[in-house]
Structure 1
Amino acid sequence: MKPWAADGGGESMRAREAVVQAPVRQEAELLRRLLDALPYPIFWKGRDLRFLGCNTAFAKIAGRAHPDEVVGLTDYELPWRKEDSDFYRACDRQVLESGEPFPDCEEPVRGSDGRQRWTQTCKVPLRDEQGALFGVLGILVDVTARREAQEQLQVALAAGDAANRMLKAQVAERDAMQRALTVSELRLRTAVRSSAQMCIWAVDAQGIFTFSDGGGLEVLGLRPGQLVGHSVYQLYAEHTETLGHLRRALTGESFTGYSSFSGLNYETRYTPVLDESGTVTGVIGIALDITERTRYREMLEAEVERMRRQLLQVERLATLGTLAAGVGHELRNISTVLNSLRTYFTDCAQRGVPPEQEELEELGWACEHVAMHGRHLMDLGRPGQSKVERMDLRELVSGSLAMLRTAGITKHVKVLSSTPPKPVWVEASRTRLEQVLLNLMSNAADAVEPVRDRLAEVRVHLFEDEAAGFACCRVEDTGIGIPEDKLSCIFEPWFTTKPPGRGTGLGLPVVRTILQECGGELQVESQVGMGSAFTFRLPLVGPHT
């Protein structure tokens, strides 16, 4: 091949690569411009907590001329204080370990100019196309002005309180105190107007506005001072909750109240104003818009409740699967009996003779056992079964032991149980309490399975603590025990000491959650090589009347 031909082919290849890569470079450049155009500092790190990139705003506070100069560095190589760097990295690790966003938090950031700023930081996990975590993304919003405004407000309020006390004690210095109050009012107006989420108002003893100011008034379509001279009872006649708060403050009580206006949620601090004789002459209110905070709290609470219900159902299904395996074996044995009886009844029908009573009884036994196994599995697997009822805990203990025995889970274990001679009444969801017993008992059976040098034994002891008003159930085993350094982790979701494939790591967290919802508690004692004991307590209730 001629040299010029080879060179021409290489140039052609490079040209094609340039054509293919041009859109990628253009998209990357566009993304870079978008990030640099944002006023908020943004960064992203890898799993080793080294910076993978940032925008120009972040590079600026880090004292770097270009975002590329931050790539590959750690927080310790930037102008942060060591204690601040430790905190940032701890938050990053929490996001990487949990796989969940880190809630908005305010944290100090000392830039290259040596000035300390306060930022409201949100950190979220970064995932690749397969969903695997590969880093963390952080967005910083400068809230220094807001914090300074809050601090100025606190200083102003403190100055106002001091002035009020001095007026009561030193009547002769009233003019000087009036000047101090005027200065405090000016400082208060400055602080309040600098915050778009805050407003302050005052009314006299008749409910007439004497003052209204703050950046938060604009959101309500009001101007500073626009409410002065108007009656709160006429303007907000439909807001009975707010009027109730005002009347309460006019009795002389200081408190924090919550209310809604035009779809916005407010947290208001009510402070009565007293004259020298202690008579209430009015009320001062400081209102803070907490709409976003309320929304995020409600979202978080809803997500926590959804996850809690999912954990309960997952563990219930895991328990159901464990029982189903043993019940399947038992049903296979019963099917052998039924097949034998079918052959026998067919032969009797062909010969025209009635079947023997013993064979009929055996058929009834087989049918009853099939129905019993079906009921057990359906009750445990039925979603949303959480009806609270009064029950004798002795029946649940014996029923759970029978279910585990039928499923073959305790076939290799010596099981001892002791219950009081009289009923032990508790009030809870039968299915969920049955789930608690099945989980603790099956865990005990699993714990003694590897034991070879002593008797494999599970003991269930039900008793009443009448002095404390609790029913107590203690499930002990002579198994391998739990190491002391792992005892504090056994109630964490997904943690398990069982071999792979034998446990979900959700059983004990779910058990404790169920008991806490019933007003009970769960305690654990364990010694390596000796065994473990789990004791749960539930409030006693009286029998049916």
Structure 2
Amino acid sequence: MLEILQNIFTSNQFIPHGHCYLWKPGLVGLNILSDSLIALAYYSIPLLLVTIVRKRGDLPFDWIFILFGTFIVACGTGHLLEIWTLWHPIYWISGLVKALTAIVSVATGIVLMSLIPKILTLPSPVQLEEANRKLEKEIEKRYLVEEKLQLAMDNIPQFLFWKDRNSVYQGCNRNFALAAGLNNPDDIIGLTDYELAWKREESDFFRQCDARVMERDTPEYHIIETQLRADGTEVWVDTNKVPLHNAEGNVIGILGTYEDITARKLAEQELQATVAELRALFAAMSDVIIVMDAKGSYLKIAPTNPSLSYKPPIELLGKTLHDVFPKAEADAFLGNIRRALEQRQMVNTEYSMIIGNNEYWFANSISPIQEDSVIIVARDITERKILEKELAMREQLLNLFITAAPVGMCILDDQLRYLQVNEALAETICGLDVERFIGRPIGEVIPHVAPLIEPIYRRILTTGESVLNVEGCSEKAEQPGVMCHWVASQFAIPGEDGKPMAIGAIVADISDRKRAENALRQSETELRKKNQQLEHTLQELQRTQEQLIQSEKMSSLGQLVAGVAHEINNPISFIYGNLTHVSEYTQELLSLVCLYQQHYPQPSAEIETLSEELDLDFLAQDLPKILSSMKNGATRIREIVLSLRNFSRLDEAEVKAVNIHEGIDNTLLILQNRLHSQALAWEKGGRHAEIKIIKEYGKLPPVKCYAGQLNQVFLNILTNAIDALDMKAGDWGQETRDWGLGTGDKGQGTGDWGQETRDKGLGKSPSNSQFPIPNPQFPIPNSQSPIPKIRISTEFQGNDWVVVRIADNGCGMTQEVRRRLFDPFFTTKPVGKGTGLGLSISYQIVKKHGGILQCVSAPTQGAEFVIRIPIQQKVGIGNC
């Protein structure tokens, strides 16, 4: 080590002056590296100093750092030039840089020497920490004071705020901030009244008050004003404002406080209203209110003009009771007053007084108000006293009525205990004394009746509903074997709340009536038997009468038809026989006239004139037509006469196999006039309707029957059908409505009405053809058609029966009418339009034939008559 040091510091290792050391690379490198690092350090230090100065703008003597930086940069530049001059001999520049460095360093040293006293006065870090600790304690103490002050301001019930000279808010407590719509009191700093929740008018008023207080330098207290809060509610506030001064005594703002007096304002308004109401009440009330002292002196009287005062109030004030009333009455009043004062509670009394010529009753309430004074409220109870007297009289009359009533009466409480019972119930019906009932329950007094009536009474107490006319039978309590029949009506007696509080019962002894009823019942049974016998006899007489009428009608009809047929046949035969000759003669004459016209085309003027007047050409064309029409008419008359004979069957009085279809067709021919008249009636009504006859004939075998009688049945039923269509004629014509028949007219209907022709083979039985006829589904098919129709259908059932159905879509009938439809003399037609025997006789005719006649109908749904007769008749059915 010593050797190394000797080698380093020995002179042999150093280059002599005037020699260059570039020839030693190690030495060159050492100098370059050292100078470079020194220059780098010198350049870095100024940068750090500049950064510190810029970051810490509060450092004192910041310019000294810049001076130090300049000195250090010059030093670093000198070391760089040392490296540069190894190869470039710029020694003058290097010398100038060193000179500059020397100048800067000297200047820096001089400046530092002048700053040493100031630098020594700067506090040390320890002193700074101590100062910081003291400052922090002071700040904390002030923060605590401010916090307590803010806490106190936030918790006082008043609203506190302060403003500057321009009425700009500088602070407030929390209550004021919340009222202004702010969450934090600090948020109000810098705001004005116009920026808060107040109304524009309120803000103007606030600022006017602020300006007045600050200009006059005079506080203003109890400013009553309204304020609209942030939540939309408007309140009344009592505001105080005082001016704030600085140290020189100048006004720098105002301090304001206010409190919410809305409740007080409302209370004042309510108090004013109450006072007004009390004044009106005292003015309108009929009671007399008097304030007296312990000596009975009148202190106050309200109202001042009562009509029921013993004397005018102005004459009573200041006087005593002994000055107004006689001594006895005054002593009594004064005693009540003293008793109220001694007991310190209200004393109620009633007394009468003569005022004028009338007696009045008063109810007095004497209440102490102070130790030596009372308030007396006197109310007129004259009417109540009169009512009480009347009520007592009515109660006495009611008790006498209940006691003397011939029927039993009693009243029970809600526990079913007897409160009142009269003798009629106790002794006559129950066989007990009245005293046995009062205050005792039902089960204890009459246990044998209790199970029957106790449930009824309890139900009345629960529901409040009366139970009337309950009949019963019971044995008298102390009279074994003696039964009493009675009828009772029980009812609830409501209390003031309307709920049942008691039960009243009225019980009547009906033993005599029951005995009379039993006797009457026996007589009624005997009378009913006799009535049944009379009804049976009457029915037989009615049937005989109907048979006689029918026989007479048929006999008369036969004679009439025979006479008509005889009288009409001869002239009709004469006319019909001669029509052939008339036609031949007419044709010959016309041929002759035609021949004349051919051979003499130019006749004389007289013939020409007569031909034109007679219109010979038209006469030649129309005359054959007229003769043809006369022949058709005569043929029609012969057919009608034949139909009349067939209808009456004068030549067929015995049972005979006939064609049912022929009888129906003959009946329709007889009624052709009715059908035509009906069609004309509809046509005149503007409806252009025509009764449409729909025939749905099945294949029927000959039926053995009285043909004339069956024809009478067909005639009666078809006549009724036409009448029903006539009654409903006013309803036809609503042609735009589809009532269910439109498709039937086209051959596409549904059910029994749509098909105008259908095959009804022998043995084929439709579904609704068995008897009795089940209830049909209404409406009857096509019953609401705008076209009046009568449907006639026949069918053969079960090889033994023939069924004929005649249905119309007329007005129908009610169930009551249908029930009495076949009763003798029952009719719904006007007087003179029907006898009420047609359907009854028809029913008897069908019944005598061993068949059934039934009707299916409903109002507005039409009607259908069903005739069911056997094809073979029993022997000896006789005439109908």
Q: TM-score range by the shorter chain?
A: 0.3 to 0.5
How high is the TM-score relative to the length of structure 2?
0.25
Q: Specify which structure has the higher proportion of strand.
A: 1
Flag the structure with more relative contact order, 1 or 2, with Cα contacts below 8 A and sequence separation at least 6. Answer: 1
* TM norm structure 1: 0.38
